[in-house]
Amino acid sequence: MIVQRKSDIFFSSLAVGILLMCLIFLDAAVSRHLDRDLVLERREIVKVLALTDLCLFTEARYTRHPSMADLHTPFQDHPLALEHFPSGAIMTIPPHLKPQAQR
Amino acid sequence: MGAIEKQRHILDFTLSSLGRRKGKNIALVLVYTFVIFLLASVLFLTDALKKEASLILQDSPDITVQRLVAGRQDLIPLHYSDAISQIRGVQSVEPRLWGYYYDDLSGANYTLMVNPELNDHGGEIIIGTGVSRRNAPGRQDQALGKKDVIPFKTYEGSVVALTVRGLLPSASELVSADLVLLSATDFRKIFPFAQDQATDLVLKVRNSKELATIAAKIIQLHPDCRPIVREDILRTYDAVFDWRGGATLMVLSGVFFAFIILAWDKATGLSAEEKREIGILKAIGWETSDILLMKFWEGAAVSLTAFFMGIFLAYLHIFLTSPLLFAPFLKGWSVLYPHFRLTPAINGYQIAVLFFLTVIPYTVVTIVPSWRSATIDPDSVMRM
């Protein structure tokens, strides 16, 4: 009877792991190829309607359109108001609003 | 015995040794897998969103001109476009009429935007699929469709009923879920915009290399204006979803410190059983280098198993099941949120970052305490 060595099982599972990684990259490449039309459609909408932002967070106006926001909107209630929208906490400040980028 | 055969024998022994502490090692692999899963999920999600934004927003307006009053965005007079359109290189200047509308019935915020094509179709709107899902009072299971009517409260308190003329394609939900397109007349019924005012101006520029120069000229002409060039928009999404900043970094550092504690626990010492095992191996003739090899294989077996499982599960989580774990975080207080599938954006850099942040440190900290034990006299190690 042939007894399978533990190292064989380890190397087999390692090969399965590497194969899974290859499958992930393959799936990503195939999805990118298949989604080309989808991306073009989204680009067309952006172009036709002159849109500037992704519709990810609709809870506050500065998170709905972060690129169009100004520095003061997160503190619109009063100058010492704390940021209270969850999405406002995830997002970092757009680079063009940082003081050194102010034109 | 060949070098490869020697390694295999050591590996066989290492795996048997791991098997003797099955419960502890399975728990370790599960926790380790979860840490890598969380790190990889954050990395995959933020990179996919960044990639999506950079692809889709390539065709956003060349320059958007806002007017600022007392530090806040204000309505821009239409006559500002006369001087701006005279700047050399500017192809066209179009006013945009848009704003936010809070819908009492659904509790959602919509973006109302004028579409010139609807100017001949007063009383009609085109809506995003997100709006169609939310705006069906009493019919939550059924989305709004053509000919349905949505009431909008005007600034004067009266109600304007607008009929749905069509829906924006669901494929574009990532940019249009909350959009309500309407005619300029209907827009001005809802919001108190004067005829000579717009929300902002969008410019088309002949040569994209001149964007910065044109932006500077706009500020010279109208110092109260703020031009936002397309690169600013693209950079915004690069920064917003930068995993090395903001709350994402906080989440990641929590996970990373959990991992450091795990690794530290491993590094600060071996269990008495592990030390005895090392002592016995030394006593029966194993070299220090063999013991280090054994511990290297132990670290590699645990960390590689967790690494492959963690990354694979993170990929399934983000790209095939929609980010279930992050959904409450992403939705926040939003009533209306887009349903979309992200195009996978993974690359060797992400995998290398994860590998060097997790596998390498763990493997190293497994070897260090073993080296300390392996260099002590076997007799004293066994007596511990």
CA distances from B318 to B56, B142, B360 (A): 19, 27, 25
Given CB atoms, is B248 within the 8 Å cutoff of chain A?
A: yes
Please give the pLDDT value at position B127.
94
DSSP-assigned beta bridge partners for residue B167: B127
Residue of chain A nearest B316, judged by CA positions: A24
- Using an 8 Å CB-CB cutoff, list chain A residues near B56: 39, 42-43, 46, 54
Per-residue model confidence (pLDDT) at position B262: 75
Chain B residues inside the 8 Å CB shell of A25: 346
A56, B338: Cβ pair inside 8 Å?
A: yes
Name the token pair of A98: 């940082």
Does the beta-carbon distance from A96 to B228 stay under 8 Å? yes
CB pairs under 8 A between A and B: 221
Kindly state the helix (H) or strand (E) to which residue B243 belongs, with its residue range: none
**B299-330 pLDDT, tens digit each:** 889 899 999 999 999 999 999 887 778 877 77
The stretches of A50-94 forming alpha helices (DSSP H) are 61-64, 86-90
**pLDDT bracket for residue B245 (50, 70, 90):** low
pLDDT per position as a tens digit, A62-72: 888 988 888 77
A50/B60 Cβ within 8 A:
yes
Q: Are B14 and B297 in contact (CB under 8 A)?
A: yes
ipTM for the assembly:
0.87
Residue matched to tokens 């040794």: B17
Q: Which of B121-125, B178-182, B270-274, B350-354 has the least mean pLDDT?
A: B270-274
User: Considering only CB atoms, which chain A residues are within 8 Å of B177?
Assistant: 55, 58
B128/A contact by beta carbon, under 8 A:
yes
Q: How far apart are alpha carbons B376 and B169 in whole angstroms? A: 71
Q: State whether B8 and A94 contact (CB < 8 Å).
A: no
Chain B residues whose CB is inside 8 A of the A44 CB are: 59
Q: Which residue of A has its CA nearest to B339?
A: A56
**Average pLDDT for residues B27-47, to the nearest whole number?**
89
Is the confidence at residue A81, as pLDDT, over 70?
Answer: no
Pairing type for strands B225-229 and B63-69 reads antiparallel
Name the nearest CA neighbour of B235 among A52, A96, A49.
A96
pLDDT at A79 over 70: no
Give me the pLDDT at residue B145, please. Answer: 84
Average pLDDT over all residues of chain B: 87
Q: Residue type at A98?
A: K
How far, CA to CA in Å, does B204 sit from each of B89, B90, B209, B265? 9, 6, 12, 60
Give pLDDT, residue B78: 95
Closest CA to B130 of A55, A25, A1, A63: A55
Using CB atoms, which residue from B169, B178, B202 is nearest to A55?
B178
Please give the average per-residue pLDDT across B161-173, as a whole number: 91
Above 80 in pLDDT, residue A99?
Answer: no
Pair B43, B243: CB distance under 8 Å:
yes
The answer to whether the Cβ–Cβ distance between B228 and A50 falls below 8 Å is no
* Poorest-pLDDT segment among A42-51, A68-77, B150-159, B301-310: A68-77
What residues of chain A lie within 8 A of the CB of B226, using their CB? 70, 103
Give the nearest chain A residue to B224 (CA atoms): A103
pLDDT band of residue B134 (cuts 50, 70, 90) is confident
Tens of pLDDT, residue by residue over B344-372, are 989 999 999 889 888 888 887 777 777 77
Q: What is the pLDDT of residue B73?
A: 87
Spell out which residues of chain A touch residue B172, defining contact as CB-CB under 8 Å. 41-42, 45
A73 contacts in chain B (CB < 8 Å): 72-73
pLDDT surpassing 70 at residue B246? no
CA distance B380 to chain A (A): 31
B99/A contact by beta carbon, under 8 A: no
